[in-house]
């Protein structure tokens, strides 16, 4: 079955530090990969996506590259801000005959950025 493994948190950084959150996956087909962000008390917001190997998703200074050879989709940002403090979820979508595009999520990584 499909699975997603994220680096364990929590992660605490100072403002303007470099961020990496590791994500690796296992899938039977050719999945699409996503990063979602969850702010306290809210639902998940799509941060970025990549739908095929070597695609790079980017948004709001965050980037992630779909690496099929290492089955990875690591999230990076060059300079984090306090407002980036949230929980980050890596997810994959592998369309099956009956499953639509159900998402399989990692456990989430709590990021705290201090001023």
Partner 1 sequence: NAGVMQNPRHLVRRRGQEARLRCSPMKGHSHVYWYRQLPEEGLKFMVYLQKENIIDESGMPKERFSAEFPKEGPSILRIQQVVRGDSAAYFCASSREPASNQPQHFGDGTRLSIL
Would you count residue 34 as binding partner 1 (CB under 8 A)?
yes
Would you count residue 98 as binding partner 1 (CB under 8 A)?
yes
Nearer residue to partner 1 within complex by CB, 66 or 77: 66
Give the pairing type, strands 109-114 and 11-14: parallel
Among 7, 11, 65, 105, binds partner 1 (CB under 8 A): 105
Question: Distance between CA atoms of 35 and 50, rounded to whole angstroms?
Answer: 9
Q: What is the dihedral of CA 33, 24, 70, 29, to 10 degrees?
A: -50
Question: Distance between CA atoms of 14 and 27, rounded to whole angstroms?
Answer: 35
Kindly write out the interface string for residues 47-66 of this chain, putting x where it contacts partner 1 by CB under 8 A and - elsewhere.
--x-x---------------
Helices (H) and strands (E) in the chain, counts: 0, 12
Would you count residue 107 as binding partner 1 (CB under 8 A)?
yes
Among 23, 64, 75, 108, binds partner 1 (CB under 8 A): 108
Residues that bind partner 1 (CB under 8 A): 31-32, 34, 36, 41-46, 49, 51, 89, 93-95, 98-108
């Amino acid at each position: 079955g499909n699975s997603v493994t994220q680096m364990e948190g929590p992660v605490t950084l100072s403002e303007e530090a470099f961020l990496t959150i590791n994500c690796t996956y296992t899938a039977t087909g050719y999945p699409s990969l996503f990063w979602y962000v969850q702010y306290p008390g809210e639902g998940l917001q799509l941060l970025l996506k990549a739908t095929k190997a070597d695609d790079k998703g980017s948004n709001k200074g965050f980037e992630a590259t779909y690496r099929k050879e290492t089955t990875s989709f690591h999230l990076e940002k060059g300079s984090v801000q306090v407002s980036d403090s949230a929980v980050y979820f890596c997810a994959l979508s592998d369309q099956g005959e009956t499953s639509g595009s159900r998402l399989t999520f990692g456990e989430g990584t709590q990021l705290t950025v201090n001023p």
